[in-house]
Amino acid sequence: KEKRELPWRTLALAESDINIRTYAVWVSEIMLQQTQVATVKEYYKRWLKKWPTVQDLAAATIEEVNQMWSGLGYYSRGRRLHEGAQKVVLELKGRMPRTVDDLLKQLPG
């Protein structure tokens, strides 16, 4: 069955680092909540260009996150991504949860 070409799918297939893959999919899942795929595509690309790793996002300010999120609505989603990234870096030693269950239990969003 043909699937649409989407940036998060492309990255998930091409990236060998599981931490980056998991981070990238997590970002896409949060962005796609209550937002159309067509809208998310460009925001997602810009987001990962600015913050390609969970460590990069954790180091950002909430003001930077809100500025990048501007136009997507539901700013709490961006805030939860930022808080989650900080938790990964500070409490999980930079390692993204590996399963959906762990992701849901350990990170906000």
Q: Active-site positions?
A: 29
Q: In the structure encoding, which two tokens stand for residue 82, read together?
A: 């930022």
Q: Cα separation of 104 and 20, whole Å?
A: 18
Sign of dihedral through CA atoms 31, 14, 98, 84?
negative
